[in-house]
């Protein structure tokens, strides 16, 4: 039986309520710091490690902006011994990506509390800044949220959510220690804070929030949201599979790729210290380029772009959490997320693997199974 606590919302401001939650964590939750988005600069919410409760005034885990996936930042904060416990208040796709990194020993769950906030989606970088305009950042968030969480997805003031969010069927993170509910709830009254693990129970107990039995609106609203997004996802996959089903189609799809590797840098689960595509393995000799060109009469420069994406999918598609930062980072608007999710949905289904669900699920490529894909390898059995 999980404990649910009540987080009161004052002045119709759920952002302030979450700030209060984080303040309590720092003051009485035994937490040395909180990693959460804080509006900096022109108002873009960046992952920020806050240790002083006074610095929480611009903290905003609900902002409809997502300039980076914070999983890698949390990995940096937890790889090795810090001696101090921290909390991360993040989106489900950030928590799921962090779980994947932790499986690969790039971060550790030992000294971290994972607080997942129901995700209502976000705009891509440019759309968010246009949507916000010159307004106050927190007021912008409140305007985006409205009264009921997740009432509708798209076309607020003419701006659509990012493509990845529109097709995301994971608005909650199964592996979180504590979840904060938003979907289907009246955001101006109170928010449920739910302990999902023993660690989460202990934290809630320390925060001294009132126990609560909220109405059951959330589960039903979540189911509707997931169903809608799954339909969107399947339609997107169908479109993308159609466009990329042949090598020629795939090459055309990726024609705009300039090998900047931004998508790999932005990808929260791509974890190599040095990408093999940045090494001298792909330093070719001039005569090689001439040779390749001569084979077909022409050669797209830079080379190895299709190879790069295929390799990244081979390495990481089972771990793809669908956060969409790859598309967000692409300077040439190559729809990388759509391609990745299309392939990842199939590879994850193939291995019956859901990335970020649990530390108990080993990454498929890290284990041998005696019987696997027998329809493919049965002739060797």
CB of residue 103 to another protein, shortest distance in Å: 9
Q: Which of 308, 319, 246, 306 is nearest to 281 (CA)?
A: 308
- Paired tokens of 342: 């299309």
Q: 198-207 and 14-28 are packed helices; what angle lies between their axes, rounded to 10 degrees?
A: 100
Nearer to another protein, 218 or 312 (CB): 312
Contacts by 83-86 with C-beta closer than 8 Å and gap 24+? 83/111, 84/32, 84/33, 84/111, 85/30, 85/31, 85/32, 85/111, 85/112, 85/113, 86/31, 86/32, 86/33, 86/34, 86/35, 86/49, 86/111, 86/112, 86/113
Nearer to another protein, 214 or 364 (CB): 364
Query: Which residues are near another protein by CB under 8 A?
Result: 104-106, 270-276, 279, 281, 287-288, 290-292, 294-295, 315-316, 363, 365-368, 381
Nearer to another protein, 129 or 275 (CB): 275
Nearer to another protein, 331 or 362 (CB): 362
Nearer to another protein, 104 or 377 (CB): 104
Q: Within 13 Å and on the Cβ side, how many CA atoms surround 63? A: 32
CB of residue 295 to another protein, shortest distance in Å: 5
CB of residue 177 to another protein, shortest distance in Å: 24
CB of residue 79 to another protein, shortest distance in Å: 9
Residue reference for tokens 């690969």:
104
Q: Which of 66, 176, 68 is nearest to 118 (CA)?
A: 176
Nearer to another protein, 235 or 367 (CB): 367
CB of residue 355 to another protein, shortest distance in Å: 15
CB of residue 93 to another protein, shortest distance in Å: 21
CB of residue 281 to another protein, shortest distance in Å: 5
> How many other C-beta atoms are found inside a 10 Å radius of the C-beta of residue 57?
12
Nearer to another protein, 152 or 294 (CB): 294
CB of residue 222 to another protein, shortest distance in Å: 33
Nearer to another protein, 189 or 272 (CB): 272
């Amino acid at each position: 039986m999980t404990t649910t606590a009540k987080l009161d919302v004052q002045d119709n401001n759920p952002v302030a309520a979450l700030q209060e939650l984080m303040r309590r964590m720092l003051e009485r939750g035994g937490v040395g710091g909180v990693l959460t988005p804080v509006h900096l600069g022109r108002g873009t919410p960046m992952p920020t490690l806050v240790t002083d409760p006074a610095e929480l005034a611009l903290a905003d885990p609900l902002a409809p902006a997502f300039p980076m996936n914070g999983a890698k930042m949390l990995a940096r904060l937890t790889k090795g011994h810090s001696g101090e416990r921290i909390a991360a208040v993040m989106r489900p796709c950030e928590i799921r990506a962090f779980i994947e990194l932790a499986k690969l020993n790039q971060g550790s769950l030992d000294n971290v509390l994972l607080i997942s906030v129901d995700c209502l989606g976000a705009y891509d970088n440019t759309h968010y800044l246009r949507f916000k305009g010159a307004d106050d950042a927190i007021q912008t968030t409140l305007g985006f949220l409205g009264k009921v969480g997740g009432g509708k997805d798209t076309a607020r003031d003419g701006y659509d959510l990012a493509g990845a969010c529109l097709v995301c069927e994971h608005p909650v993170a199964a592996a979180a220690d504590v979840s904060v509910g938003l979907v289907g709830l009246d955001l101006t009254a109170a928010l449920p804070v739910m302990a999902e693990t023993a660690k989460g129970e202990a934290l809630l107990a320390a925060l001294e929030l009132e126990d609560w039995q909220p109405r059951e609106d959330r589960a039903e609203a979540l189911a509707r949201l997931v169903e809608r997004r799954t339909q969107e996802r399947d339609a997107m996959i169908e479109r993308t599979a159609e466009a990329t089903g042949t090598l020629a189609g795939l090459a055309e799809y990726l024609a705009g790729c300039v090998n900047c590797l931004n998508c790999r840098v932005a990808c929260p689960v791509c974890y190599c210290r040095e990408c093999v595509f940045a090494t001298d393995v792909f330093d070719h000799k001039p005569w090689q380029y001439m040779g390749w060109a001569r084979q077909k009469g022409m050669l797209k420069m830079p080379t190895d772009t299709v190879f790069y994406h295929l390799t990244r999918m081979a390495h990481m598609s089972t771990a793809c959490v669908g956060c969409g930062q790859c598309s967000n980072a692409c300077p040439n608007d190559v729809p990388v997320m759509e391609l990745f999710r299309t392939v990842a949905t199939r590879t994850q289904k193939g291995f019956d693997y859901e990335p970020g669900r649990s530390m108990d699920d080993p990454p498929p490529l890290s284990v041998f199974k005696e019987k696997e894909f027998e329809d493919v390898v049965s002739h060797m059995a």
